[in-house]
């Protein structure tokens, strides 16, 4: 069990290194060794000893510790965390290990919560899909997002996107996403949104301080751009009128109910990003069948689309769009794990 958990920590260390967090990459090497030796990292994570890779125990641990830092409760660590003005040094691991030992019981409880990132950079990856549906149908969009977390990506059209001389959206928007495309930028049209709704098994309410801290705690502390973007997106969501409707619900049950409603006069877009990785094979098949069933009933006056950002079999992230009537599916782009950069393929 210890070896399994240590192995998952090392996998995550490699991912953090690849995705630009040397701080977490280095820490997780130490966490893995501590788990194997039965140290305080093992004491915190032991209830997750048999968990699958998709449970992300390493991110649960580091996110839970980061929450204590953001709450101002562990000044010994705060001096290392850029998210609160600190700078990592050679004492980081020993100071973190001391916090794990001192707060074991609380952290052991906190790591039961799955990571909730609601990565706003993924809005840039989905932008091309939404505008493609709007251009093809000439209709306003009805957005239904499963696994929506806090729903921040449902207000994607309130952000400003830039890539070289290309831009999309309001230049005065509080959320500005730069360097969107790796390569030429496509010509994207405008899009109007008629409705925004989402569901999640454990939605985060960012209108509360607890919800805000939950999301910020899972942003890696040495990634200033992501953290600033998320903080701004939270404020945009709070100010939205009306706010997207977020419900606590099972994805398939909720989606079946929503797709059963009258969709005339709008293009219904079912969207999900880094969600089906948490589904088992049977649930993924049920989702496919549900969409195909309603897709067969779609018309030009009530079209249906599925816009997804998910990892392929090799672990590479793809944005795919399937539209009905017709059921045509195509690869729009390949993207980074946090949504950027976007390599347009369509």
pLDDT, tens digit, 9 for 90 and up, residues 302-320: 999 999 999 988 888 999 9
CA distances from 90 to 13, 18, 21 (A): 18, 22, 16
Confirm if 161 and 341 have CB atoms less than 8 A apart: no
| pLDDT at residue number 117 | 83
Percentage, residues of the chain above pLDDT 90:
94
Task: Quickly state the pLDDT bin for 337 (edges 50, 70, 90).
Answer: confident
**What is the average pLDDT score of the chain?**
96
Confirm if 192 and 253 have CB atoms less than 8 A apart: no
| Nearest in space to 344 (alpha carbons), one of 145, 129, 189 | 129
Confirm if 272 and 284 have CB atoms less than 8 A apart: no
Q: What is the pLDDT of residues 123-135, one digit of tens each?
A: 999 999 999 999 9
Name the DSSP class of 256.
H
Average pLDDT over residues 216-242: 96
Q: Where are the beta strands (DSSP E) in the chain?
A: 141-146, 160-163, 166-168, 176-177, 193-200, 245-248, 267-273, 304-311, 317-324, 328-335, 342-344
Residues spanned by the domain of 105: 2-110
CA distances from 12 to 56, 150, 167 (A): 8, 24, 34
CA 146 – CA 153 distance, rounded (Å): 11
Domain check: are 226 and 133 in the same one? yes
Return the axis-axis angle of helices 22-36 and 92-102, rounded to nearest 10°: 50
Domain check: are 16 and 129 in the same one? no
Q: What is the pLDDT of residues 288-301, one digit of tens each?
A: 999 999 999 999 99
| pLDDT at residue number 116 | 86
DSSP string, 73-112: --HHHHTT-GGGT----TTHHHHHHHHHHHTHHHHHHHTT
Task: Quickly state the pLDDT bin for 340 (edges 50, 70, 90).
Answer: very high
Task: Quickly state the pLDDT bin for 146 (edges 50, 70, 90).
Answer: very high
Looking at the structure of the chain, the number of domains it has is: 2
Is residue 116 in some structural domain? Answer: no
| pLDDT at residue number 254 | 98
pLDDT value at 121 more than 80: yes
Confirm if 140 and 266 have CB atoms less than 8 A apart: yes
Domain check: are 203 and 104 in the same one? no
Domain check: are 173 and 299 in the same one? yes
Is residue 314 in some structural domain? Answer: yes
pLDDT value at 210 more than 90: yes
Confirm if 346 and 128 have CB atoms less than 8 A apart: yes
Confirm if 142 and 194 have CB atoms less than 8 A apart: yes
Is residue 198 in some structural domain? Answer: yes
Beta bridge partners of 271: 145, 307
Task: Quickly state the pLDDT bin for 86 (edges 50, 70, 90).
Answer: very high
Considering 110, 130, 154, which residue would you say is the last residue of a domain? Answer: 110
Helix/strand/coil percentages in the chain, nearest 5: 45, 20, 35
Domain check: are 103 and 165 in the same one? no
Q: The pTM is what?
A: 0.92
Considering 110, 144, 178, which residue would you say is the last residue of a domain? Answer: 110
Domain check: are 77 and 139 in the same one? no
Is residue 117 in some structural domain? Answer: no
Q: How crowded is residue 55: how many other Cβ atoms within 10 Å of its Cβ? A: 16
| pLDDT at residue number 315 | 80
């Amino acid at each position: 069990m210890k070896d399994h958990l240590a192995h998952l920590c090392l996998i995550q260390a490699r991912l953090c290194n690849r995705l630009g967090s040397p701080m977490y990459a280095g820490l997780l090497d130490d966490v893995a060794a501590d788990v194997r030796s039965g140290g305080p990292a093992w004491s915190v994570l032991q209830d997750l000893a048999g968990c699958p890779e998709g449970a992300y125990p390493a991110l649960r641990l580091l996110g839970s510790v980061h929450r204590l830092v953001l709450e101002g409760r562990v000044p010994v660590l705060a001096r290392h965390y850029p998210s609160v003005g600190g700078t990592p040094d050679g004492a980081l691991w020993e100071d973190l290990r001391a916090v794990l030992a001192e707060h074991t019981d609380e952290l052991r409880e906190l790591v039961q919560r799955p990571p909730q990132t609601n990565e706003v950079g993924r809005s840039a990856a989905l932008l091309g899909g939404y505008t493609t549906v709007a251009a093809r149908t000439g209709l306003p969009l009805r957005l239904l997002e499963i696994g929506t977390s806090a729903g921040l990506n449902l207000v994607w059209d309130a952000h400003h996107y830039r890539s070289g001389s290309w831009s999309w959206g309001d230049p005065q928007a509080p959320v500005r996403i730069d360097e969107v495309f790796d390569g030429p930028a496509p010509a994207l049209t405008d899009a109007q949104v008629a409705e925004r709704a989402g569901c999640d098994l454990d939605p985060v309410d960012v209108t509360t301080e607890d919800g805000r801290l939950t999301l910020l705690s899972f942003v890696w502390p040495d990634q200033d751009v992501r953290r600033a973007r998320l903080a701004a997106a939270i404020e945009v969501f709070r100010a939205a009128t009306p706010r997207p409707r977020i419900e606590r619900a099972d994805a398939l049950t909720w989606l079946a109910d929503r797709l059963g409603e009258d969709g005339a006069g709008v293009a219904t877009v079912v969207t999900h990003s880094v969600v089906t990785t948490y589904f088992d094979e049977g649930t993924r098949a049920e989702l496919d069948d549900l969409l195909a069933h309603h897709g067969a009933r779609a018309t030009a006056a009530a079209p249906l689309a599925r816009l997804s950002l998910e990892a392929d079999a090799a672990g590479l992230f793809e944005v795919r769009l399937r539209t009905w009537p017709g059921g045509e599916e195509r690869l729009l782009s390949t993207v980074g794990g946090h949504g950027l950069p976007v390599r347009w393929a369509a």
